[in-house]
Chains A and B, each alone.
Chain A
Amino acid sequence: MISLAGVTAVLVVIAALRSLEAASDQEIVSGVLGGNTDDFEGLVVRYQRQVFRIALRVTRDRDNAADVAQEAFVRAFVALKQYDANRPFGAWISRITLNTALTLCSSRKKQGDERRTATLDNSNAADAFSTVARTEFETAVRAAIAGLPDGIRETFELRAYADLSYDEIAHELGVPRGTVMSRLARARERLREVLEQQGFGRESEAV
């Protein structure tokens, strides 16, 4: 008798938790499209870390990343009707974030924005050296990515900056999964070649 009551209690608790469970992305989207603008906050809370991380990877600067993240959510809201509810919302907003960040990078550059980015701290002399070495390598990697052919570059950026899965990239770009796989492999081989030609071989692995 007691065990029956216990099982019932557990079931009731599970049911209660279920109803408290947050609405799915798709439910939120349809709510927002139905006119409940404030529901969008659920998506902002859920995806802000992911969006910010992508923005930070591209911009390498916290202030710029915050601007990009804000702009990405606004763009997603404006374009919400175009979102395909059968696909993960995370991949969709990641791509918007990546494009926003890349656009902002080039436009800020054109405007000659002289915002400061990270500074070097010399609290540790060994760190200072490795930071300079890392900066040199990161600069070379970014330049090498910029030099990839367009289709390959976009695929690689979606993977490397936006963390999209192969299936998500395939859907976003409208190409087969196998194409995504071979593009990424080509991108990596090309980057490796270019960097090796510049003398980044064994030594850069120690950095």
Chain B
Amino acid sequence: MSAPGRGENICLNMRDLLSAYLDGETTPEETARVDAHLNTCEACRVVLARYRTIERAIAGEVPGADPAPQDSAVFTDAVMSRIREVADRPTLKAHILKWRTPVVSALAIAATVVLALYLRPRTPEEPIHPVPTTTVPSPQERRETAQIASKPSERRPLTSGGAPTPRTRAQIAEPPVVASAELGQAMGDIAPDETSIQDAKAKPARGGVSFVQDFYATRAAQTITGAAPAKRDSVLLDLRRKADAMRTELVSANETNSVDSLKLLLGDVLARIAERTGEPLDVRAALTFWRQEYAVLAKQSGDSVVQSRVSRLEGILRSAQPKGSFE
């Protein structure tokens, strides 16, 4: 494990305890110990606050979503109807068990008879081949077994709504090179990102971030490619002008190497878009813009932290990264 590059170090003897404290899993004595320690240790207070921030990011509810099924009774009925279906349908295993005994006994008897006929000391007048036995399964039995085997699966699809619609997926070999975003390349250069959107859709991936990536791909396809171009262009143009003006301001104030100041800038720009347009703000477009701003800032300041954020945003926007790629 590498040491944290910056920031506070947790007191090592407090590590397990602090985490359990957060989860409410400490004994009263332990809780008192942690409380006493936190009163005197600034570093552990900060660490605890960071843990809480991470917890909130995971457990935070989806905005505008009540954490319950839309209609409890409807949900219960839907579940129960599927469960009754499952319960009523004998499983394949049950079928096998049901038929196994007679079929296996019949085969066993047949095999025994055949074996007995072969092994029996032969007398010259006996025929060499055994007589056919009558203990093999009757045609009726066989028919029934065949029916069971060929019975189609009745499993109901999980989604009631539409199946995913197939789409043509253009494979774009070269994702846009973001780091080359220049100050002068100001006007309406959101278009190249359509390629990265297609690219993102073309590369399915797994892992914890998949839904977020789904989300970006979907939103991007709907918003960037689908919105009325004229209005969007003017919005982006305005956005660019504002951003450039503010960046110039920051450069002259010698404040370019601060992520916080960049965030202020972006916050202001995004607020302006939100005020000007009557449309919902597109997350992907905002993140794309954000990434480009980071890229310019990284180039100017040479700050590796900013550069690492550029790479990560590129990852989010372009496609899924393999598991653990952030380490």
Contacts and interface: CB of A to CB of B under 8 A. Distances in A.
A79 B16 CA distance: 35
B75 A70 contact: yes
A71 B160 CA distance: 13
A195 B222 CA distance: 31
A132 B58 contact: no
B54 A189 contact: no
B139 interface: no
Contacts of B219: 116-117, 119
Interface stretch (B130-138, B236-244, B272-280): B272-280
A37 B85 CA distance: 10
A77 interface: yes
B4 A192 contact: yes
B164 A113 contact: yes
Interface residues of B: mostly helix, strand, loop or mixed? helix
Contacts of B282: 120
Contacts of A45: 72, 76
Interface in A10-65: 37-38, 40-41, 44-45, 48-49, 52-53, 56-64
Interface string B250-286: 0000000001100100110011111101011111001
Interface string B51-72: 1011101111111110111101
A74 B290 CA distance: 43
A8 interface: no
A73 B158 CA distance: 12
Interface string A105-136: 11011111111111111101110110111111
Contacts of A137: 53, 57
B323 A205 contact: no
Interface string A158-173: 0111000110000000
A67 B163 CA distance: 13
Contacts of B205: 109
B248 interface: no
A9 B221 CA distance: 68
B23 interface: yes
B6 interface: yes
Interface stretch (B97-105, B146-154, B208-216): B208-216
B4 A197 contact: yes
A3 to B, nearest CB: 40
Given A45-B72, A199-B308, 12 more contacts: A112-B164, A117-B218, A120-B281, A120-B283, A122-B273, A122-B274, A135-B212, A137-B57, A143-B207, A192-B7, A205-B49, A205-B53
25 contacts: A44-B76, A52-B75, A56-B62, A110-B204, A110-B206, A111-B164, A112-B169, A113-B164, A114-B201, A114-B218, A114-B221, A116-B219, A117-B215, A122-B280, A125-B271, A125-B274, A131-B63, A134-B57, A142-B58, A145-B208, A147-B324, A181-B20, A185-B18, A188-B19, A197-B5
